[in-house]
Each structure stands twice: as C-alpha cells, then as structure tokens.
Amino acid sequence: MYQQHFGLDRQPFKITPDTSLFFSGNKRGAALEALVYAIKSGEGIVKVVGEVGSGKTMLCRMLELRLKEDAVDVVYIANPSLSPDNILHMIADELQLGVNDATSKFAVMQKIQTYLLKKYSNNQRVVLFVEEAQSMPVETLEEIRLLSNLETDQDKLLQMVLFGQPELDDKLSQVNIRQLKERITHSFYLAPFEPDDTREYLNFRLRAVGYRGPDLFNKKISARVKKYSGGLTRRINILADKALLAAYSDGGHNITTAHIKSAAIDSEFVSKTLQKKLFRLIVIGAVLLAALVSAVLMGLSQQHKKPDQVVAPVKNISRLQQNSHLPVLKQTAVKPSPYKVAKFNRGLITARLQATRLWLSKVNTNNYSIQLFTTPVSDRVAIDSFLHKAGSLLDISKIYIYETRVKGRFWYSVLYADFGSQRDARKMIKTMPASIQKRSPYLRRINAIKKDLKAGMKYLKKDQIEQHEMERK
C-alpha cells in the first residue's frame, strides 16, 4: 500500500528472507565469510546460534548461495523432529540416491558413503544444513554425528552446519551428547542489533528498494525501534512495516515515535504492564491539559470582567503574588522558533512557488508528478542554479517547488509536470537528460504532495505564514 507513497520498487521489510536485501552490518557479513571459510577448510561441525528472529535463516540462505558458486552440494533439513531411523533416509532422498522405506539403514549408509566418495574424487564437497537444531531429538543429533565419521585419510566427506536457538547450547551440554559437542570446531553467535546498527539496517533496506529521500529512520526513531524489537531483525521488520503504513495513512513522510509505539503495541511487543502504564500516563496527561486550559480560560474571563479598566505595568511581581489570589504569569523572553523558515529569493524561485500553488489548486489529486530531488530551504543557491540550468533541459513552466517539513527541518521538494498514469510518468523519466536521471527521480501522487504541503505549513506560526505571503506577492 505504501510503496508508491514512498517511491519504493517493492516491500522493504518482508518477514520472509530476501537475499537481495542481506545486511552485512552487525558482523553479519563477517560471519558469512567465516562460515564459508570454515566449510571450505573441511574440519568438523559448525554451529550458528541466535535468538528467534535474529536472522539465522537469512544467513543460511546467503551461505547456500555462496557455496553453490563453488559447486558445493547443499542438503537442507528444515524438519527437526525427524527420528534417528528417518534422518538417514531423509538425507539420501535429498541426494536423490533412490532409497525407499524398505531400504535398510545399513544400505542407506552405504549409498551415502559411496556418493560422498564419488563427489570427493571429483574435488566436490557436500554440506548438510540443519535448521532449528535445538528441537532435534538427542538420538537424531547423535545419528548425525556418526555421519561425521565418514572421512578419507585427510578430509571429512560431509560438512555440517547446525543452526539453532540458545537452547541448542543447553542440549549440547548434556553428558550423553558430549561427543557431538567435541566435534564442533567453529561456533558463531548472532547478536541482536544495537541502536546504530538498527538505524543503518532500516535505511539500508529502504534505499535497496528504491527510496531516494532523506533518511526516514533517524537516531531517535531507530533507538525506539531497538527498544521495542530487542534488536531482532524479524521484529525490526514488523515494526518498520507498520510504521511506514501508519505514516502513509497520515498522508505524510515522517516516521514518528508514536508510529513506532503504536506498531509495538499492535504487535504485542509491549508487555501488558507497560501498556497499562502508557494508558495511565495518557489519562494523566489529558487531565493536566484540561486543567491548564481551564485555568487559562478562567484568567481570561477575569480580565474581561472590567473592560474599561486600564491595566498598569506590573512593577513588583513578588508583592502582587503575596496580595492577590489571581495567578500571575512570569514574564519571559520570547524564544526564536527552532525551525528554519524559508526566506525565498525573488525571481525564479518566487515565480515557481506561486505557480505551484496555482497548479495544486487545479490539478487532479489522482494524478502523478515526478519528484526530481529535495534540498534544505537554506540551500537556495542550489535551487536557483537548478532553475537557471533546467530551462535548457526541461519545460520550466512545468517545474514546481513546494516546502515540506521532515524531522524538524524544512525542505524544498522539486517536481516536474503531472501525468494521468504511472506509465506516462515513467516514460517521461526515461526521456529525461542524464544529468536529471542521476538524481534518481521517482513518482509521487498529487494527493500525497498536497498532504505534505499542508503538514509543513501547520508548523509555521501565523506571523511566519504572513511573511511567506508577503514574499510570494
């Protein structure tokens, strides 16, 4: 639903592993390289442990792709509940050795060994992947260990990688399976993401599927995602997906902490106790706000009781506070707005801003426009330079500029024309000069642009809006 809104080619946060979106940060890339090395070295059994949703399956898929590049055969076991009598038949079936239920266990082992020796003689390797190994019966794990006895004078005929949750370590610590533990030569642990890793991961995935705007997940938002997800990639994906959907529903392009909190509650990543505390805080906040509004209104009503009375300047506030039952507001200096307000240059910029307002008042909200790029309002030189150069590249009468607010900062969004269909807009992008295409232009729906403009203007104070109006005239 939100892909078009954010200019994405496909979903960035699907739960199912997508190897094209593999993130090498948080030592995931290093772990992959180490796994490839451990398997190619041909020594012992390899173990990979991580919490539920930490990215074990993604790493498994990436490892499989890397090994196939080197002509390594991969046998994949995803069913951990296999009995000792069935595990060998399962492996033989995956290797297409032509066994059936009537084939004896000894005959199956012989076929497997013959196959592995043939592969070894051709300088090829076979590796066995076992997922959810923590749920595999001890007897079945012991049967797998016996397969590791198949070897030549120099090398193992079958490499093994066990993927499991931390409970796998508990199982391997049992006395009756210590022989398997002794065969494990390399162990890897997939640690949860830290806040910085979470931020890099979120923005990496968005960019990988076509997003070209400012980072949607800043340090503060990413820290909140880390808090509710525990740094586990599956939960991070769920929260990010729901947060993007919430921002789309609001008609904006900002991800807020409220979006993340709502997604966490909806996904039940927040405990019931914490949910009750949050609800209690909301209620208390509402009551305090109502009391504050009531006090202000009472103060105003007191002032209007005697309209003909002239209010003299207050010379001694402390004395007045002692003798009056009315609340006295402290006199404080007016702080400047923390937001940068656009001060437009006259000329081309002002003309295009005026043209944009007129265009948006008439254009069909279901149409599409091409967003060329965004730039901070403080960088007026870049906009002015672009407009002067664009006249020789595009129809300048179809270049539109509007102001939007992203993460507390104001930006210029530069658009080009409007189109009745995505197809027409994409055709236009393909015909644009190379210098424009380098900016990675993408489609925007007019309705979303109008909401962007409205969201940006609501943060301007009344006098700031008047300043905008005067400068645009």
Per-residue pLDDT reduced to its tens digit, 90-113:
899 888 888 888 888 889 999 999
Mean pLDDT over all residues of the chain?
81
Q: Among positive and negative, which fits the CA dihedral 365, 368, 371, 372?
A: negative
Assigned token pair, 260: 């993340």
Cα separation, 143 vs 137, in Å, equals 10
Residue 334, pLDDT score: 41
The per-residue pLDDT for 302 is 61
Comparing 463 with 265, the larger pLDDT belongs to 265
More confident residue, 280 or 448: 448
Task: Indicate whether 450 pLDDT > 90.
Answer: no
- pLDDT category of residue 330 using cuts at 50, 70 and 90: very low
Q: Give mean pLDDT, residues 224-235.
A: 95
Spatial separation of the C-alpha atoms in residues 284 and 261, rounded to whole Å: 18
Residues of the chain with CATH 1.10.8: 193-266
Q: Whose structure tokens read 């079945």?
A: 140
Q: How confident is the model at residue 410 (pLDDT cuts 50, 70, 90)?
A: confident
- For residue 59, pLDDT beyond 80: yes
Given a cut of 70, whether residue 366 has pLDDT beyond it is yes
Strands 159-164 and 45-50 come out as parallel
pLDDT at 35: 92
Residue 134 scores a pLDDT above 80: yes
- What does the alpha-carbon distance between residue 145 and residue 138 come to, in Å, rounded to a whole number? 10
Q: What is the pLDDT of residue 32?
A: 93
Give SS3 for 436: helix
Q: Is the pLDDT of residue 308 over 50?
A: no
More confident residue, 322 or 284: 284
Pairing status of strand 126-130 against strand 73-77: parallel
The pLDDT of 283-298, averaged and rounded, is: 72
CA dihedral 94, 100, 101, 103 (to 10 degrees): -110
pLDDT of residue 321: 44
Domain span(s) for CATH 3.30.70.1070 in the chain: 348-472
Predicted pLDDT at 437: 81
Distance CA 266, CA 242 (A): 9
What percent of the chain is predicted at pLDDT more than 90? 33
Distances in Å between the Cα of 377 and the Cα atoms of 4, 35, 70, 159, 357 are 25, 48, 52, 59, 17
pLDDT tens digits, residue range 135-144? 888 888 888 8
User: Does 277 score more than 80 pLDDT?
Assistant: no
The CA-atom distances, in angstroms, between 396 and each of 352, 419, 427, 428, 435 are 9, 16, 19, 15, 16
Proportion of the chain above pLDDT 70, given as a percent: 81
Separation CA 346–CA 351 (nearest Å):
8
Residue 29 has a pLDDT of 93
- The domain 193-266: what is its CATH number? 1.10.8
In whole angstroms, what is the distance from residue 339 CA to residue 246 CA?
24
Q: 27-190 adopts what CATH topology?
A: Rossmann fold (3.40.50)
pLDDT at 218: 94
Can you tell me the distance from the alpha carbon of 436 to that of 75, in angstroms, rounded to the nearest whole number? Answer: 48
- The CATH code of the domain at 348-472 is 3.30.70.1070
- Tell me what pLDDT residue 201 has: 96
For 237-253, the pLDDT digits (tens) are 999 999 999 888 888 88
What is residue 118's predicted lDDT score, i.e. its pLDDT? 92
Predicted confidence at residue 271, as pLDDT, reads: 60
User: Where do you find CATH 3.40.50.300 in the chain?
Assistant: 27-190
pLDDT of amino acid 273? 46
Give the tens place of pLDDT for each residue, 189-209.
999 999 999 999 999 999 999
Given the DSSP bridges, would you call strands 159-164 and 126-130 parallel, antiparallel or unpaired? parallel
Confidence of residue 283 (pLDDT cuts 50, 70, 90): low
Closest CA to 79 of 95, 68, 91, 66: 91
pLDDT of residue 345: 44
3-state secondary structure of 443: strand
For 246, residues 6+ apart whose C-beta sits below 8 A from its C-beta are: 259, 262, 263
Q: What is the pLDDT of residue 304?
A: 53
pLDDT reported for residue 49: 95
pLDDT number for residue 338: 41
Model pLDDT, residue 250: 83
Which of 230-244, 329-343, 351-365, 446-460 has the lowest average pLDDT?
A: 329-343
**Is pLDDT above 50 for 401?**
yes
